[in-house]
Structures are given as C-alpha cells and as structure tokens.
Structure 1
Amino acid sequence: MTTSAPPADRRVPEAVHRRRWAILGALMLSLLIVVIDNSILNVVIKTISTPPPTGLGATQGELEWAINSYTLVFAGLLFTAGVLGDRLGRKKTLLAGLAVFGLGSALAAESGSPVQLIAFRALMGLGAAFVMPATLAVLMNVFEREEQPRAIGIWAGGVGIAIVIGPITGGILLDRFWWGSVFLINVPIVLLALALMIWLVPDSCDPNRGRLDPIGVVLSVLGLVLLVYGIIKGGQLADFTDATVLGAIAAGLAVLVAFVVYEKRSDHPSIDVTYFKNKVFSAAIAATALVFFALMGVTFFSVFYTQSVRGYSPLQTGVLMLPLAAAQLLFAPRARLVVDRFGHRATCTAGLLLLATMLASFAILDTDTPIWLLEVIFFLMGAGTAHIMTPTSVVIMQALPREKAGSASALGNTFRQVGGALGIAVLGSVLSTAYRGGIEEKLTVVPAGQRHTAGESIEATLGAAARLGPQGETLVGPAHEAFLHAMHTTALCGAVVAIVGAVLVAVFLPGRLPTEREGTGEAELMTAAEH
C-alpha cells in the first residue's frame, strides 16, 4: 500500500479538496454569529430593563428568560438537528438554519415587548441549532483525516473567540445605536454567509441513512428540553429543591432514559447508543461538558465583577476579556502539535488543571486588585481551554465513521451547550445564594417590602441604594463585599468541577488515537479504548 494515494483514491473529491480552506472560512462565519449570540445579550441587559423608549422595561425574570429561551431551544434541538443533517443533507439544514436565525434576529431587533423578545430569541435558537452541528459535520467531509485535527483546532478556536466577541460587539453597538442593533447586525452577516454557503459548500449526508426515527427524535427533544428547563429554572429561583425544578429535571432524565432504552431496541435508531460504551468517547464528551460548565459560569459572574464592582462599561468589559479570545486564537490551532508530542491524555489533563487553577485564582480578586492580574487569568484560562477543546473535539469526531459526522458533532455540541447552561444555572445559583447570605443583614435601611428583591443580586442592591439617595450609599460597600465573597465561593466550585474533568481524562483518555489506514472507508471505530 502506498503512502500517497492518487487523486482518484481521495476520500474527498479533488474539486472540494482544493477549496477546503475557503469552505472552512465560510463555516467559521456561520459559527461565529451563532456562538456570539449566546453571550451578546449580557451587555444590553441594563438597557433593555429601562423603560421605553430607551428599552423595554423588562423585569429581572423577563431578562433571564430572554437569555435562556435561546439556550433552551438551542440545546434541546442540537442533537435532532445533527441527525436530520445526516439524513437530509448537511448543506440543506445549514442553509435553512441560517435563514431562520437571520429572520429571528430581524424580528428580535424590532421587539415591542419583553415577551416578543423572548419568543424571537427562541426562534433564533431554533435556527442556531441547525447551524452549529452542520458546520463541524461539513468540515469532517471536506478535509482528509490527516488534516482534520488542524481544521478542528481552528474551528474550536473560533468557538472560544466568539464567546468573547459577543460582549465587545454589543458594547460597541450600544455606544452608537439603540439596543436592537445587537440583533440587527446579524442580518447582513447571515446574508453573506448564505451566499458563501451556496457558492462554496458541497452537500453531504449519510449514505446509509435509512428511515427516520420520529419517536427517538421526539424523546430526545422532550428529554433535553425538560432537563435544560429544570436547570435554568433552578438557577433563576436559586433553589434546586423547588418542586417545579426537581419535577422538570426528574422528568427530563426519565424521558432521556426512555430514549436510550428505545434506541437500543430500535432497528433504525437516530444514534447508536453503544457508542457510549467506548470509555474514550464518553470521557471526551463529558470533558467537553465540564469545560463549558466552568467557562460559561465564570464568564457569567466575571461580567458582574467588572461592571458592578469595578465600574467598567459594557464595552470596556468586553475589551477586558480579549486575552481569553487571544489565547484561544493563538493556541487552539496549535494544540494539535502539543498532542502530537505529548498525547491526548497529557494535553487535556494539563489544560483542565490550568483551567482549575485560574478559576481558583478568582478567589484572590478584590475591589482594588490590579486589573492586569485579571487579564493574565483570562489569558491562561483561554490557553487551558484551547488545549482541551481541540483534542476532545478530535477524539469525538474521529471516534465515529465519517458518515455519522453530523451525529458526532451534534452530540459534542449538545453536551457543550447543556454543560454551559448547567454552569450558568448551578454556579449562578451558588452566586445568588452566597450573595443573599452576605447582604441580608445589611438591608435594614431598605423598606421591608423591598428587602427580598434588593437581596437577589448586586444589581438589585445597588438599584435599591440609588433609589434611597444619600441614605443608600451605606449599602454600596457591603454589596461589593458580599458579591466578592459570593464570587470567591462560586469560583472555587468551578475549580472543583474542572479538577473532576482532569481526573476523568487522565483515567480514560488515550495517549494516542489509532490512525486511519489509507484507503479504508471509515475510521477504526471504538478501538481507541484498547490503547
């Protein structure tokens, strides 16, 4: 067997192979606008909460659902979207998803009430669910196996960068335009992405797609929606013992168990659940969820630290997070070189330990800590994350046959989004509970009927203090102290989660993945666990 196959033996057609990097660029554009929208709303929360015509006069609960309706629909439909992409064609689902996302963005920009904004954000989540898994699935079908780690590294770097670009973009737009501009900006980008997709991207699907699995699809959607709803509701209430929260989570888990049982018995399953018998594949999926649990949680509370405690504007806050994006951009495409030298296990374990250390470092931040120290923490967090996401994405995507790329991408993205939602909900709940415990005794100057609301968050306390005038100034210092204590507690919880992930990958991830033999039709599925 020769080491270099002639063009006729390529897994990827020559015409597609020649334009593979241009295709990756088009995919990255689609990915950026979808991931950015996961975080861009954070910087406009204060504006949307102001009365019309400046904002929509949204309450705190409405603001939370404006953020979470997107995440709920996005995470709940990711797996189904990946399966449909495999069955119906990745390019078709990608174009449809972009069109729906663009329509939702235009409608959200013109929302006349908080309820409309919540509904249109959910529509955007629907479109995004069909875009994100399709980008990685198309990538796997336009790059040869030996180039896939590099391409996935660039893709993973784009995810990390987009998390930070959202607040920066939102801050810049708010400085010049009305709040709806943060959504309207998506429309011309979507139109450009659609044109590039039609021109550059080839279609692909699973050649052995067989029949659809409507029962499995419904069970997977229902289970994920219930689970994510319970997680979000628990974070909103800061109480995971609430009957509604426990009921939704229990129901979601029960439906997902039913989904697994049904899929194991089905002769045409949406996903072969025996994939999860592979400890390597399962460990990589779990590590992905844990990383986003910690990363999204810290991004959530760091925004309050920089704005509410340190007094930075939304735009300045976005700029302060640039080191996180810079590290992702710098290290994610190069992480494969580290993997080549040290292996997947060592690289991911070191990345998770670095991430855990940086999360724990938030416990030393105070009201007057030099801001450059926060910048160093963000940069090292980005470096650690880059050396986790690229190797685990490669493991996940190369563990399954190329024809199942959409399902593999959807599984990885589903666990990533569920992990992120869980991180915001759980760590947000820890933050709220710890903050209320630290501020309650200081709220005696607030009228009795307003004390519960004033203790919900640092923003609520500072708002109550502003309404009290000079008398309320005595609350500012205690509010900062209570928040810092809560942030320190929350950061240490996130660090523990990252350490759990480090142990997981150290035990189950292989040092090296088996390589695909030249000319074979699909990856050497499930053999990595034996190495």
Structure 2
Amino acid sequence: MTTPADRAAPGPGIPEAVHRRRWAILGVLMLSLLIVVLDNSILNVAIKTISTPAPTGLGATQSELEWAINAYTLVFAGLLFTSGLIGDRVGRKKVLLGGLVVFGIGSALAAESGSPGQLITYRALMAVGAAFVMPATLAVLMNVFERDEQPKAIGIWAGGVGLAIAIGPITGGLLLDHFWWGSVFLINVPIVVAAVALMIWLVPDSRDPRPGRLDPIGVVLSVIGLVLLVYGIIKGGELADFTDPTVLATIIAGVVVLAAFIVFEKRSDHPSLDVTYFKNKVFSAAMAAIALVFFALMGVTFFSVFYTQSVRGYSPLESGLLMIPLAAAQMIFAPRARLVVDRFGYKATTTAGLVLLAGMLAAFAGFDADTPIWVLEVAFFLMGTGMAHIMTPTSVVIMQALPREKAGSASALSNTFRQVGGALGIAVLGSVLSTAYRDSIEGKLGMLPANLRGTAGESIEATLGVAEKLGPRGQALVGPANDAFLHAMHVTSLCGTVVALAGAVVVAVFLPGRTPRRPENQEEPELVAAAD
C-alpha cells in the first residue's frame, strides 16, 4: 500500500527512481551506521575477558585496554572532518563503500589479534573505516530526501543509534557466553558484507558539483589539530591530572594548530571549511548543544557501568540489559521528535530535552547501593527520552542550515563535535570520578602494605581486586570501596548536570522557535545520480 508521501512527486534534484526507494536506502544507511555504533558498545562488555591471560583473553593491562578504546576514538575524531570533505568531492557512495571495506578488514584482523599491541593497531584501522562511514550516512540521507521529509528521516536515523546502543552489550554478552573474545569483532564482517551488497544495489552516488580546488594545508592542519587535542584530553583523563605538563602541552598545541587552521581557512580562496558557517548563531548553538550533550552523556555512561557491575554486582550481560530503557526511549521518541518540534518549535523542544537530561543526571546523585533497580531503569528511560528530543532537532538544524551540496561537511562537523564532546566527557568526568574516589578511599587503606595503597586507590575495580587477593582480610575493604565510589559518582553526576544545564541555556538563547528558513531564491542543486 502506498502512502501519500510515496505518491508525491520528487523534487527537482531527486530522480523518480531514487525517490521511490528512499526508505529502502535509509534502511541500508542505518545498517552501515549500526556496525560503527555497535562496535563501540560491544567492546565495553568484552574488556574484562580481553584482560584475562591467554588462552581465554590477551592478558591486556589496564593501560592497554584503555588504548584499545582510545586508539579508535583518537583516529575516528581526527579523520571525521577530512572524510566528510572527501565524500563531498569524490562521491559519498564511494566513500561509504571504501569505509565499510576497511572497517570489515580491520574487524577480521582484530578478531585474530595475538597480542594487545596488535589489537590496538587493528582497532585504529577500524576507526579509519568508521570515520568515512559515519558522516557519509547522514550526507546521503540528506541527499535522497526532500527538505520536508528530512526531519522524519533524521529521526529514524537517530533511532537507529539507540538500537545499536541497546543490542551492542547484549550481543557482546551472548557471544562471550558461547565463543571466544574475538567473536565480538568478527560479528562485524557478515554485517559489512550485507551492507556493501545492498549499497551497491540501492544507494545512488552524489557529490558537491562545485568542490573547488584542493586544500591540502587545511586538511593536514585539521587532522593534526584534532589528533593533538583529543590525545591530550584522553591522556589527561588517563592520568586524572590535566595539569600534567605533557597533557597541557598537547592540548595547547592542538588548540594552537586548530586556531591556525581557522585563520588559514578564513584567508584561503578555496577553504576546506567555510568558517562563515559559524557566523550563523543557530548552526553554532546546535553544534555546541551536541558537544555538551555528549560530554554529559558519555561521562555518565562511563560511571554507570561501574555502578551496576562493581557496586550492584551485575554481570556484563545483565549490565547491558539494564541499558535497554535508555536505548528503547531513543528508538521510540527520536523518529517522533519532529512532531513535537512542529508543535512547540526547536527552542522549546531541545531546551526541555536538555533540562530533562540534566534532571536525570542529578538523580544519580541520590542513588546508593540498594536503590530499587526500577528507579534506575526509569532514569535511563527518561535520559533516552531527553536525548531523542535533543539529537533529532539539532541534527536537522545543522544539516538544513547549510546547502545540500555541503551535506558531507555538515555531517562531519556534527560528528566531530560529538566525538570531541564525548572524549572530553569521559576524560574530564572520569578524572573527577577518579579524584573524588581517591580522596574518599585513601583514609581507609591504612590496613594495606604501603606498596599496595597507591594501586588500590586508583579505582573501585583496583580496590576490589586487591581485596580479592587478600582473601578474608580484604573483605573489610569492600564496604568502604562501595561508599567511596558512590560519593565519587554523586560528585561526578552533579558536574554532568551543570554541563547539561549550560547546554539548555545555549539552545534557549540561540535556537529558533520554528524551522529555519532558507534564503529566498536559493535553489537546491541537483546532486543525486539515478542508478542504472
């Protein structure tokens, strides 16, 4: 049965054949997005198994595990902007296909890693592929849907992120129950094969019809600046000390290089990034909102895993199942957020979403070791609801603020801000968590030998690990460790609350009440090439 939308004639830039299969194309794009997001969430479940000595795992140290995660984040964030530019220039379908193939190869190699060093290397290779997949999916979406259907399509796209967040930990737990640790990476390969086949069949190619000259200096400056900045953030969180000279020097160097990038782009007659985009207060506010949301969300997700597993005693699979309400809310409400925007406007919808998110972050400050689990589930569901009413509207604002031919650049910028915000959230809020925990537990470690006190004070996992090695004598540390962590979680959640409220203020001041209007007489260029 056809719907009125299906019967509607396509716009001047979209051939009829592409218009008819636009929803099938969206399904393929979501499948491509699924593996990129799923891989991040699925690895969290496998961390403990990978740290187990061979043959069960790789015997990875805590530092090696962190870099297995951080290598992906570092490369992914560093290449996002460049990948969007390449997609606009050479074609988004080509970039998507190439990114998927590289991601699949990296996944297969990671599954067969023989050492932590190899795993870190192959995770970085996976990130190269993912960096080319993520922005291209949204850019293609903007290209095959007309402007009036874009909010609905973006909402469904955002709901797909929620689906991946939900099934990642569950899939990882099930795989680890029946197979070896490498299966959490190998599962990507058949998904990649299916996505590539469907993409070749269904997805049209598109590019910027007027890309201009190459800007190699701008591209190099953007990559170096982003890598230095994200590396400094990650290192600061790892050391729980952002005043460390190496950390400060790296972050400052990253900021200086990015500043040089902006100055160079302003003076260039063929810039990679038209910095005048950011003169648009609506565009800039939406970017800031996305960064602040992921700052708060990633930091809370980080400490909630320790709360459910270390304090509450749930298994990795059970911990993953507890996250279902958060993901379910995104899946339910993200596709429908456009209806709320239609009625109340961007400003009211997004501000309300951020206030709701801030309230749920604040709720964590009241959780203790025996808080009824249904309360946690309600908090997760409401967090997901808030996220759905933030992500969809801000993504629509960002993507519609720029011309369609710049969709790759807009998507890449959005994802870059998201990744840098998330990295900052994990690093900064992780540092707050570590510092608060260490300050709270130090006075309880007097019973330990001097050489163990430093190690035991690093985290709740470290304290519980030392307690387990001490046997019955170590049981006296379990209660203080839980109390110290809960205190640290309360402090950290309140910091996240402040950040979310800051985001609410930004969008309340700068986002429009209704849909931003494209300037009159500005036509959409014809970008989509119909498939044979």
- With the length of structure 1 as denominator, give the TM-score of the two structures: 0.96
1:226 corresponds in structure 2 to 228
Equivalent-residue separation in structure 2 for 1:475 and 1:375 (angstroms): 29
1:500 corresponds in structure 2 to 502
1:405-453 Cα shifts (integer Å, max 9, x gaps): 0000000000001111111111111111111111111122322112111
2:124 corresponds in structure 1 to 122
Q: Is the 8 A contact 2:299 2:422 kept in 1?
A: yes
Q: How much has 1:93 moved relative to structure 2?
A: 0.5
Q: How much has 1:517 moved relative to structure 2?
A: 8.3
Q: Is the 8 A contact 1:323 1:376 kept in 2?
A: yes
2:82 corresponds in structure 1 to 80
Q: Which residue identity lines up with residue 267 of structure 1 in the other structure?
A: D
1:154-193 Cα shifts (integer Å, max 9, x gaps): 1112223323332222111111111111101000000000
Where do 1:35-434 residues align within 5 Å?
A: 35-434=37-436
Equivalent-residue separation in structure 2 for 1:132 and 1:223 (angstroms): 20
Structure 1 residues 507 and 517: CA distance shift in structure 2, 3 A: closer
1:529 corresponds in structure 2 to none
1:526 corresponds in structure 2 to none
**Residues 156-165 or 414-423, more deviating:** 156-165
1:490 corresponds in structure 2 to 492
Equivalent-residue separation in structure 2 for 1:344 and 1:514 (angstroms): 9
What is the Cα-based RMSD across aligned positions, in Å?
1.5
1:10-41 Cα shifts (integer Å, max 9, x gaps): 32111100000000000000001101122221
Where do 1:395-474 residues align within 5 Å?
A: 395-474=397-476
1:27 corresponds in structure 2 to 29
Q: Is the 8 A contact 1:94 1:131 kept in 2?
A: yes
Q: Is the 8 A contact 1:446 1:464 kept in 2?
A: no
Structure 1 residues 47 and 9: CA distance shift in structure 2, 3 A: closer
Equivalent-residue separation in structure 1 for 2:166 and 2:467 (angstroms): 31
Q: Is the 8 A contact 1:445 1:472 kept in 2?
A: no
Equivalent-residue separation in structure 2 for 1:42 and 1:437 (angstroms): 27
Structure 1 residues 306 and 481: CA distance shift in structure 2, 3 A: same
Equivalent-residue separation in structure 2 for 1:169 and 1:6 (angstroms): 40
Q: How much has 1:9 moved relative to structure 2?
A: 5.2
2:523 corresponds in structure 1 to 521
Q: How much has 1:7 moved relative to structure 2?
A: 4.6
Structure 1 residues 367 and 269: CA distance shift in structure 2, 3 A: same
- With the length of structure 2 as denominator, give the TM-score of the two structures: 0.96
Q: Is the 8 A contact 2:10 2:19 kept in 1?
A: no
Q: How much has 1:515 moved relative to structure 2?
A: 4.2
- Gapped runs of 5+ residues in structure 2? 1-6, 526-532
**Residues 130-139 or 263-272, more deviating:** 263-272
Structure 1 residues 220 and 392: CA distance shift in structure 2, 3 A: same
1:296-338 Cα shifts (integer Å, max 9, x gaps): 1111110110000101011101110000011001100000000
2:4 corresponds in structure 1 to none
Q: How much has 1:259 moved relative to structure 2?
A: 0.3
Equivalent-residue separation in structure 1 for 2:516 and 2:291 (angstroms): 24
Q: Which residue identity lines up with residue 357 of structure 1 in the other structure?
A: G
Q: How much has 1:514 moved relative to structure 2?
A: 3.5
1:95-136 Cα shifts (integer Å, max 9, x gaps): 000001001111111111111111111111110000000000
Q: Which residue identity lines up with residue 84 of structure 2 in the other structure?
A: G
1:485-531 Cα shifts (integer Å, max 9, x gaps): 001111110010000000000000000123458995239xxxxxxxx
Q: Which residue identity lines up with residue 369 of structure 2 in the other structure?
A: T
Q: Is the 8 A contact 2:162 2:328 kept in 1?
A: no
Aligned length: 520
Equivalent-residue separation in structure 2 for 1:240 and 1:498 (angstroms): 22
1:448-478 Cα shifts (integer Å, max 9, x gaps): 1121111111111101000001110000000
Q: How much has 1:44 moved relative to structure 2?
A: 1.2
Q: Which residue identity lines up with residue 417 of structure 2 in the other structure?
A: F
- Gapped runs of 5+ residues in structure 1? 524-531
**What is the aligned-residue identity percentage?**
80
Q: Is the 8 A contact 1:431 1:486 kept in 2?
A: yes
Structure 1 residues 451 and 114: CA distance shift in structure 2, 3 A: same
1:340-385 Cα shifts (integer Å, max 9, x gaps): 0000000000000000000000011111110000000000000000
Q: Which residue identity lines up with residue 207 of structure 1 in the other structure?
A: P
Equivalent-residue separation in structure 1 for 2:320 and 2:11 (angstroms): 48
Equivalent-residue separation in structure 1 for 2:172 and 2:456 (angstroms): 27
